[in-house]
A and B are shown apart, each in its own frame.
Chain A
Amino acid sequence: MPEALLQLRGIEKRFGRTQALRGVDLDLVPGEALALIGENGAGKSTLVKTLTGVHAPDAGEIRFDGRAVRFARAHDAQAAGIVAVHQETVVFDELSAAENIFIGRPPTRGLAGLRVVDWRRMERDAQGWLDAAGAQFSARTPARDLGLAQRHQLEIARALSVNARVVILDEPTAALSRHEIQGIFRIVERLKAQGVAVLFISHKFDELFAVCDRYTVLRDGASVGGGEMRSADEQELVRLMVGRAVDNIYPPRHRAPGEVAMRVTALSHPTEFAGLTFEVRRGEVLAFYGLVGAGRTEAMLALIGLKPEATADVEIDCRAVDLHDPAQAIAAGLAYVPEDRRGQGALLDFPVGHNLTLPALAGPRHAWHGKLSRGPWLSARREGAFAQGLIERLRIKAASAEVPVGSLSGGNQQKVVIAKWLGLQPRVVILDEPSKGIDVGAKQAVYGLIEDMVRQGLAVVLVSSELPEAMNLADRILVMRRGRIVAEFEHGAPAEAIVAAASGIAEASAA
């Protein structure tokens, strides 16, 4: 094995009382891609921040090019040639692509003794990097006009432009289409060919097996294993990650769908989707699968009354529901768990208990109105009992119901957001990408929750971009493309057919 470019030995980092890293060893070799595997909370993001100089380790050594180094600021790591591309793209909407790429270090030239920005060179060089990253847009494009995949390309162009010797890709494919994911793979191969050391972080094993040469597993802040990808076994990797054998993250299925819980006819919107007609039964999981831009989340937002221009006939338990008011939708028994649970689902400053009771206290036409309060008067006792029940039922780990939700771990925050809806005993629960960005252990818990919901007779609508998830959990899969339902598949349908329908290949071959 060639000499490692970047070596970490015994890295430790603590924040207050939490020991985030307790001894991490890592070797990054030029021309190779290393897979970094681990659950959320295992320390991956802290490790990345240590590598990029955002945090300084409390103990341990970082050796770059054979010399011990110390990064005082994020900038130092970048100057050394270590660059990270994150899931949440670090992009400035009001600047152009070129300005974004060269932010903080614009090319300059001398003018009457002063250093001024050399715009022409900036745009020219930026275009070069964008092309190398596989981008198809001009360097002058304002960043706010770029789609998500294009923003990733922009970030990669930035990484290339600093002549990085180490490139860290943190969940780079989380929101990309299959085609775009292939683009990422090509970039990784190109980087490897140029002698760059790549650190690839992903929850998707198939991707890791596709591009990575070696792997390291992190658990509870420590390195617990590593080796060559080609001799690795998925089960073994999961066992290392979780510390125990996880036979199947999908719980056993017990499905006995009952009568129709919700019937939607001709759900349409002037620009985002049209003619959606479907029904979902009690005790059934209906999955909506599709690519970015298919219109799934928009359709769900319309169902809960957040799209005033949408029209449809919606019946829940044979009663018509008005689409123009979230309170009405909730009162009718619809619950929507948003995709961005932290940003759109949780009130981080509010105590856990108040988050859990919020929907129940939210509106006058609610089925729960008056149960958790005495008319308009708050009742700490009733709220407390309700909240406690949910905390126990979902095993939410919090010091008490009084602590702010923002102080909980990511996984527990997710649980709070899901729990507050379950407590209302809705008829239909819509889960928008429930397992996005969470690790195997938490995923297993969420899938178990879904199975519980189904067993209790709820109807579950699942918006998912993870095909295995949709295929394993759903009784039926509806494929959406460009705002329309293009295919319907039963449980057990082959993956290729589903993917083909989603990408528009051979649209005629619907199930």
Chain B
Amino acid sequence: MKALGRWEGMLAGLILLLYAGFGIGVDGFLSPYALADGTVNVSERLVIAMAMAMLICAGEIDLSIAATMALASLAMGLAMQAGAPLPLMLLAGVATGAACGLLNGWLVTRRGLPSIVVTIGTLSLYRGLALVLLGDQAITGYPEALSTLGNGTLGDLVGVPWLIVPIEFGIAVLFAGGVAVWMHRTVHGRRIYAVGANPVAARFSGIAVDRYRLGLFVFAGVAAALAAALLTGRIGSTRPNLAAGWELDAITIALLGGVAIQGGRGSMVGVMLAALLLGGFTFALGMLNVPGIVVSTILGALLIGAMVLPKVLPAPGSRVG
């Protein structure tokens, strides 16, 4: 699967346009501090968007990924309240995320249920569990180290003050890069694309289709846990509505990044660029004090536009329809 094509080029161009446009129009937009701040809308979403993209390429979907984030954050909070040190807290989060993913994966592979319905169910279930366990309370008082994870810069870590790249951005990019390499350069990635393109042919070819599907759901749960750790560290609290609606952001980023909703196609680099584009856009609008809901509206319109565009301008090399 090609990582860099026309679509990715277009996304890169749009990013440049965005930064140029807002850089001229908005004072201070291109200042290093503003840019670093702007990555806040990118980092956590990029992590779950990558996992979502992998699942969509394999022909599945996970609408419960944001609810899993909430449960993972909750697990971290409960572990903290029980006196656990940071590494154990993180472990609790990861274990919870993996368990959530495992349930999804088990229902899809062992019981053969369509992932869209399963994850609509688990979305409610996981959010509901978070509600049950937390009610309308919040967990706060997270350790300093976690806050640094979410808010600190790489410079803080290595003692270089001018390196203001946020830690969570660095982690997110590393994570995304790893996923991109996995999907585009390893046999596993090829098999995942094959599963999405034609699961029957993939099985006939000897690919362990169900094993990959299960693995991808568990991975999505772990990714959700990672994103939850970053987000919880940044905002310093856990509420049942943590990351509410973020599953739609993840899907939007994936689709905008060029992943085909029917599976089998899509560049991970495109997804990274889309996250950057949407994050930058959201940040720019935020700087202009545009209310969050209007930003969502514009994103919704962008999503539809991104889908309509390829139909109106046919790409070269596409099959005769």
Contacts and interface: CB of A to CB of B under 8 A. Distances in A.
Given A378-B187, A403-B317, A350 B204 contact: no
Nearest to B207: A362
Contacts of B203: 306, 326
B270 to A, nearest CB: 16
B319 A404 contact: yes
A41 interface: no
Nearest to A306: B203
Contact of A347 (B187, B198, B208, B317): B198
B188 interface: yes
Interface stretch (A136-144, A245-253, A337-345, A448-456): A337-345
Nearest to B203: A326
Of the four ranges (under 10, 10 to 19, 20 to 34, 35 or more), the interface on chain B belongs to 20 to 34
B127 interface: no
A438 interface: no
Contacts of B204: 304, 306, 326, 336, 338, 344-345
B191 interface: yes
B190 A354 contact: yes
Interface string A303-334: 01010000000000000000001110111000
B6 interface: no
A359 interface: yes
A361 B207 CA distance: 9
A358 B194 contact: yes
Interface string A349-361: 1100010001101
A407 interface: yes
A499 interface: no
Contacts of A18: 320
Contacts of B186: 376-378
Nearest to B189: A378
Contact of B206 (A326, A344, A407): A326
Contacts of B264: 347, 349-350
A2 interface: no
State the majority secondary structure of interface residues on A: mixed
Chain B residues touching A, majority SS:
helix
A363 B198 contact: no
B206 A349 contact: no
Interface string B282-321: 0000000000000000000000000000000000010110
A349 B265 contact: yes
Contacts of B197: 347-350
Contacts of B193: 350
A347 B201 contact: yes
B194 A359 contact: no
B320 A15 contact: yes
A361 B191 contact: yes
A167 interface: no
B80 to A, nearest CB: 37
Nearest to A383: B190
B31 interface: no
B200 interface: yes
Given A347-B201, A350-B264, A359-B205, A407 B319 contact: yes
A58 B103 CA distance: 56
Contacts of B198: 343-344, 346-348
Contacts of B187: 361, 373, 376-378
Given A350-B193, A378-B186, 6 more contacts: A18-B320, A343-B198, A358-B194, A363-B207, A377-B185, A407-B320
20 contacts: A15-B320, A306-B203, A306-B204, A327-B206, A330-B205, A330-B206, A331-B206, A343-B200, A344-B198, A344-B204, A346-B201, A347-B194, A350-B194, A350-B197, A358-B205, A361-B191, A363-B206, A377-B187, A378-B186, A404-B319
The 10 closest A-B pairs by CB, nearest first: A362-B206, A327-B206, A347-B197, A330-B206, A359-B205, A363-B206, A362-B205, A326-B206, A376-B186, A362-B207
Interface of B: 185-191, 193-194, 197-198, 200-208, 264-265, 317, 319-320
